[in-house]
Amino acid sequence: MASPVSLKNTAVPTLSHYAVLATAGVILVSHFAVDVYSGIVPALLGVIEAQYAMPREWAAILLGVGSICSGLAQPLFAWISDRANSRIFGALGLLIGAVAISFIGYVSEGWMVFVVYAIGMIGIGMFHPVAVSTIGRLAGQKRSMAISLFFVFGMAGITSGSLIGPWIASGGGTLRDLSLLCIPGILMVALLQFAIGRIDHNPQLRRKDGQGSSGYDIRSIAILYVASALRFLVNMAFVYLLLRWLQHHVAAANPQWSIQQVADYAADLNGRQLATMTIGMAIGGLTAGWSIKQGSERLPLILVPLLFSPAIFALSRLQPGTAALVMCFLSGAGFASMVPVSVSVAQRMMPYHTSLASGLMLGGAWSIACLGPSLAQWLISSIGLPGAMTAVGCILATSGLVTIGIRSDSISDSAGDSE
């Protein structure tokens, strides 16, 4: 097995220390902004489902469409960015995502929701690999810390979207009122392009012994990808299960309510659940990125999913309330703590293709999450809601077990590499 390639430490020669901090700040804020839009539709799924009279299977597919469009866009545009030596897809993706998601309430037919949502999620997917590879380039040896901060800002954006969307669209307004949200996103576009457009995408770095991609440990990278894909699958399945779990309890407590009344009431509560889950994802990612030493990531990749999977089992036995929110928090930490760690490891394992590495571990793995909602609905129909939650928890545990196959030296040998 080929050993990982090695890179000489490099800095960003054209930027001062303060310019690096300012550029990183713009990237972090833009990540917050773009993920506000990605958090809106999942939080409003019940409202969209009721307004457009969608069958539950369609609603599950809608979430899946978002995942696959965002997911497949990431490695595709990451590869194009690496080839073209350009950062333009970061700003362009933010623009597309902001406009499409903000105006999703203006469509007149259910099938058009799928089209507009797909376009918006493609834009959001375009943004991510460019932004995260840039901040990894700026950070150098502090790559894991920087990527964990990047991750946290994204989770904060999703949390905000999960709260803002229902507040605007079901708290006295309509889906059309979401259009106001396009304004801050558009303002960020020009600022982002100005900040990152001047940073070399593929700097000419010294290669050791002339090694390139042929020196990559493909087996370990593939295992890291499979583990990431399983965690993202759990993520989206859990989002869908949360909605059905809450709607079940709301309908049981208010049998006289219509489907629309249940959907509207559950939307606000579901936004809180998703926000709590996302806070768990953010804190888990930040803690992992800042506490796990570079080169020693293999054991946490194995243990964290195993230790946190029981939280999903426990939620199905609870009623809505504080205890359930705690399980949402722990579940989010379980399937998301290792996201920034995986991205950092992948960038170090593929130092000459960091956008592609980022795209694979984020979008490429995220595209598998398109199966999550439909899998969750199939499990509910087959074995009931408690059984479905138990099965999804087992998938999370499996994502930890598969990483046993990652070569320890592939992680440790890459610990000194930076873009």
φ/ψ of residue 218, rounded to 5: -60, -40
Q: What average pLDDT does the segment 82-96 reach?
A: 84
Q: What is the pLDDT of residue 148?
A: 85
What is the overall mean pLDDT for the chain? 83
Q: Is the pLDDT of residue 363 over 80?
A: no
Q: Is 227's pLDDT higher than 60?
A: yes
- CA dihedral (405, 305, 66, 178) in degrees, to 10, reads -150
* pLDDT score recorded for residue 199: 67
Instruction: Find the angle CA(292)-CA(296)-CA(299) to the nearest 5 degrees.
Output: 90
Pair 308, 103: CB distance under 8 Å: no
- Which amino acid is it at 352? Y
pLDDT for the residue 1:
41
Query: Of the candidates 160, 231, 216, which has an alpha carbon nearest to the alpha carbon of residue 417?
Result: 216
**How much is the pLDDT for 413?**
59
Q: What is the pLDDT of residues 160-213, one digit of tens each?
A: 888 888 888 766 667 888 888 889 889 899 888 888 766 665 544 434 434 445
H/E element, 225:
helix 218-253
pLDDT tens across 290-347, in order?
888 878 889 999 999 999 999 998 988 888 888 999 999 999 999 999 988 998 888 8
Instruction: Kindly state the percentage of the chain with pLDDT values over 90.
Output: 28
Residue 9 pLDDT > 60: no
Under 8 Å between Cβ of 289 and 304: no
Distance in angstroms (rounded) separating the CA atoms of residues 78 and 360 = 9
Q: Is the dihedral of CA 45, 49, 51, 52 positive or negative?
A: positive
**Dihedral over alpha carbons 417, 297, 375, 65 (to 10 degrees):** -30
pLDDT at 144: 76
Say if CB 232 and CB 365 are below 8 A apart.
yes
| Per-residue pLDDT tens digits for 48-65 | 888 888 887 788 788 878
Q: Can you list the alpha helix ranges (DSSP code H) found in 85-181?
A: 88-102, 110-139, 143-169
CA angle 387–391–396, rounded 5-degree value: 145
Kindly state the average pLDDT of the residues 127-143: 81
Question: H/E element holding 270?
Answer: helix 259-291
- From CA 246, how far away is CA 83, in angstroms rounded? 46
